[in-house]
Chain A
Amino acid sequence: MANYEFSPMPRDERCCRLSRRSRVCLCLGLLVLVACAVVLAAALTWSRAQTPEPLAWNGAGTTRNLLELVLGRCYSYTQLVRLDLRSKDCPKILDAFKNAFISKNPCNITKEDYEPLLDLVNQTVPCNKSLFWSKSKDLAHQYTRVQGEMFTLEDTLLGYLADDLTWCGDPGSAELNHQSCPHWNECLSNPGSVFWKVISQKFAESACGVVQVMLNGSLSEPFRKSSTFGSVEVFNLDPRKVHTLQAWVMHDIGGISSDSCSSASINELKSIVTERNMTFTCQNNYRPVRFIQCVKNPEHPSCTSEI
C-alpha cells in the first residue's frame, strides 16, 4: 500500500478534464460501439441458424462414425487379415474414399470420382478363388468365412471397407450427411450404387481360372439380368482369363426343391456364358454350402438322410 495521504479530489477534477461536448461525443461513440456489437452478435446468431440444411433424401443417412469405422476396417484388413496388403496407406485410402463424394451432390456421382481410390487399392484375387453371389449374400459370406480361401467381393479390401455402410455428402458443405442419403430409386448415380458398380466391375475383370457364383434356387428366377451379377459382373469376366463359370444353386432348407440347373433362368445364364466363350457348369445344392444351411436346421430330413 502506497504511503501517502489520500484526499478525495473534487468530482469534476477526478475524471479527465474533458469539456461537456467531448464527454457527449465519447458517450455517443461508446453507445454506437455497443450497438454495433449487439447487431454483429445478432447477425452471427441468425446466420448460424440460417446455415443451409443438407439436401433431404428418402434413404437412410450416412452411417454414424463412418470414418472411424472405415479406417479401423482398413487397418484390420491390411495389418491382421491379409498381410500381403500390409503396405497400403490407410489414411490415404480413407481420404480418397471421402473425396469421391464429399461436397458433391449425391445424385451426381460418377465412376471417375472413385478412380483415385481404385488406383490406390489394386488387389488381385488368386485364380479359382472368386465367388460371386446373387440374392444369397449371407450364405456366401458364411461360406467364405468358414472355408477361408475364397473371396466374395466383400472379402476384398474395398468391399470389406464398405460392406453394410451408407454414405453421402452435400454440395453445400464438407460434412457427411447423417440425416439422409438418396435411395437408389431416387437416383442411380448415388455414392453407394456407383461405388458397388465400379468395384463389382473391377472384381469381375480381375477374376481368373474357374469362377463360382452362388445363386438362390428358392426364387422364381435364380438368375436375373437386372441384378448386379447379371448386368455388371457376368459381362466383365474376361474370357481370356476365365475359362469356366460354375454356378451353385442353393435352395432354402424346407423349401420347394426343384432342378434349378435346368430352369429357363439358369439356361439364360448358360447361354450368356457360352456365347462369351466360357464353359458353364451348374450344381444344385453344392454340398459344402448345404452344410452351412443345415447348421440352422440340423433335424430337417434333407440334413439327416443318408447318401
Chain B
Amino acid sequence: MAPRGCAPAQLLLLLTLLWPGEGTSPQLQSVFLGRCAEYITLLSPQDKNCTAIWEAFKVVLDKDPCSVLPSDYDLFINLSRHSIPRDKSLFWENNHLLVMSFSENTRRFMPLCDVLYGRVGDFLSWCRQENAPELDYQSCPISEDCEHNAVDSYWKRASMQYSRDSSGVIYVMLNGSEPNGAYPVRGFFADFEIPYLQKDKVTQIEIWVMHEIGGPNVESCGEGSVKILEERLEAMGFQYRCINDHLPVKLLMCVDHSTHPDCALTL
C-alpha cells in the first residue's frame, strides 16, 4: 500500500520514478521536528513540545519492522493531539493531490495531513532493520509483507484519532473516475475512520463524488460502491447527502484544464 499522505503533484511523480521500494526517509528526525515546529509555530499556534513528541514517536524505530501495532503510537498521539474545528474534517480516498490543494494548509479544511499528528508523518516512511538496531534506509515492509508494519500502523492509529476528534458536518471526497470504485470497501476510510466517527458529535456526512475532467464517469452518487457507502451510513444511523462534482472542487480541477469543454460551462 502506498504511504498515505496528501503531497503535491510533483512530489508524487518524482517518488514513483525514483523510490521503487521506499526505505526510511532521509533525515527523518530533522524533517519530523521541522514539520512539528512549523505546525505549532506558524500553521496552528499551540503549546506543544516537539522534542517530546519525537521521543514518543521514535519508540517504534526500535521495534521489529513487522511488530509495530497502532497502540505503539498511543503516547505519540496523546502528546500531539489537538482539537479539530467543527465542520472542517475532510476524509478522502484516491485523490490526495486534490485534497491537499483544496484544503489550503488548514485554511479551508483540515484533512488528516493538516492535523499535527498527520502532518509530521506525511509522505514519510520509517522502519528498523530486521536483524539490527539501525534504521533501514533501503526498504520497509508494506501491508503485503506484514500487517503490523510501522507506517500502516501509524496511519491506522492517526485515522482512528482523527475520526474520534471530528465533529459537525463530516465531508468525504471520493474519486468517481477510479476504475475499482469510488468507495474502497476495505481501506483506511472504511476500516479505520467510519467505525470511529462519534454519533453524538457528527451532525451529517456529506459525500462529494468527483470525476476527473475528461475522465470516465465510473460511479456517481447512488451507484455501485457509493451506494454501498450510503447504505452503510444509513444503517449506522447517520444523516448523509451525496453531491456529484461539488462545484468548488470542480473549479479547482479546472485550473489545469481551463480550455476543456467540461470547464467551459462553469466559467
Interface residues of A (CB under 8 A from B): 63-65, 68-73, 75-76, 79-83, 90, 142-143, 145-149, 164, 287-292, 294-296, 298-299, 302-307
Beyond A80-B11, A291-B255: 16 further Cβ-contacts under 8 Å?
A63-B41, A63-B42, A64-B37, A69-B42, A71-B34, A75-B26, A75-B27, A79-B25, A80-B7, A143-B255, A146-B256, A287-B267, A291-B251, A291-B263, A295-B102, A306-B265
Q: List 15 A-B residue pairs with CB atoms under 8 Å apart, sorted by A's residue number.
A: A64-B37, A65-B50, A81-B10, A81-B11, A145-B8, A147-B255, A148-B10, A292-B252, A292-B255, A295-B102, A295-B248, A298-B247, A303-B267, A307-B264, A307-B267
* Bound CA span A53–B8, Å: 44
A79 and B32 CA atoms in complex are apart in Å by 13
Q: Determine if A291 and B267 form an interchain contact, defined as CB atoms under 8 angstroms apart.
A: yes
Chain A nearest CB, measured from B218 CB (Å): 24
Using C-beta atoms within 8 Å of the partner chain, give the interface range for chain B. 35 or more
CB distance from A49 to the nearest CB of B (A): 28
Asked if residues A294 and B256 are in contact (CB atoms below 8 Å), the reply is no
**Is the Cβ of B42 less than 8 Å from the Cβ of A72?**
no
Interface of B toward A, CB cutoff 8 Å: 7-11, 14, 18, 25-27, 30-35, 37-38, 40-42, 50, 101-102, 104, 123, 247-249, 251-252, 254-256, 258-259, 263-267
In whole angstroms, how far apart are the Cα atoms of A148 and B27 in the complex? Answer: 24
Contact between A294 and B267 (Cβ–Cβ < 8 Å)? yes
3 pairs of A and B residues whose beta carbons are closest in the complex: A72-B34, A65-B37, A148-B9
A305, closest chain B residue (CB): B267
A302: B residues at CB distance < 8 A: 267
Residues of B within 8 A of A146 (CB): 101, 252, 255-256
* Contact of B267 with A304 in the complex, beta carbons under 8 Å: yes
Residues of B close to A143: CB separation below 8 A? 255
| CB closest residue in chain B, given A143 | B255
**Neighbour of B26 across the interface among A79, A148, A292, A303, CB < 8 A:** A79
The answer to whether A90 and B27 touch (CB under 8 A), given A76-B34, A142-B104, A290-B267, is yes
User: A residues within 8 A CB of B263?
Assistant: 291
Cβ–Cβ contact A80 & B123, under 8 A: yes
Determine the distance from Cα of A291 to Cα of B102 in the docked complex, in whole angstroms: 12
Report the Cα distance A65→B50, complex, angstroms. Answer: 10
* A18 shortest CB reach to chain B, Å: 57
Contact call B251/A298, Cβ cutoff below 8 A: yes
B30 touching A72, Cβ below 8 Å: yes
- Residues of B near A287 (CB, < 8 A) are 258-259, 267
Q: Is the CB of B14 within 8 A of A83?
A: yes
Q: Is the beta-carbon distance between A288 and B35 smaller than 8 angstroms?
A: no
C-alpha gap A157/B186 in the complex (Å): 40
A284 to B102, CA, bound (A): 24
Considering the chains assembled together, what is the distance between the CA atoms of A240 and B97 in angstroms? 37
Residue of A nearest to B51 (CB): A68
A residues within 8 A CB of B254? 288, 291
Q: How far is the CA of A164 from the CA of B32 in the complex (A)?
A: 19
Bound-state CA distance A64–B47 (Å) is 12
Q: CB distance B33 to A288 under 8 Å? A: no
Q: Which residues of B contact A294 (CB under 8 A)?
A: 248, 251, 266-267
With A79-B25, A81-B11, A306-B265 already in contact, the answer to whether A295 and B252 are too (CB < 8 A) is: yes
Q: Is the CB of A69 within 8 A of B267?
A: no
How far apart are the CA atoms of A176 and B119 in the complex, in Å? Answer: 27
- Is the pair A73, B8 in contact by a Cβ cutoff of 8 Å? no
Q: How far is the CA of A291 from the CA of B265 in the complex (A)?
A: 12
Does B264 lie within 8 Å of A306, measured CB to CB?
Answer: yes
Report the Cα distance A79→B28, complex, angstroms.
10
Q: How far is the CA of A295 from the CA of B7 in the complex (A)?
A: 20
Interface contact A149-B11, CB-CB below 8 Å = no
Please indicate the chain A residues that have their CB under 8 angstroms from the CB of B11 in the complex: 80-81
Known contacts A164-B42, A291-B255; A72/B267 CB under 8 A: no
Most buried by A among B8, B254, B255: B255
In the complex the two chains form, what is the Cα distance from A294 to B254 in whole Å?
Answer: 10
Please name all residues of chain A whose beta carbon is closer than 8 Å to the beta carbon of B256 when the two chains form the complex. Answer: 146-147, 288
Closest residue on chain B to residue A79 by CB atoms: B26
Q: Which residues of B contact A149 (CB under 8 A)?
A: 10
Bound CA–CA A63/B34 (angstroms): 13
Minimum CB–CB distance from B236 to chain A (whole Å) comes to 30
Q: Do B25 and A71 touch (CB < 8 A)?
A: no
Minimum distance in angstroms from A64 CB to a CB of chain B: 5
Q: Are B266 and A304 in contact (CB under 8 A)?
A: yes
Cβ of B41 and Cβ of A69 under 8 Å apart?
A: yes
**A contact residues around B27 at 8 Å (CB):** 75, 79, 90
**In the assembly, what is the distance between CA of A148 and CA of B7, in Å?**
11
Set A69, A81, A295, A305: member contacting B38, Cβ < 8 A: A69
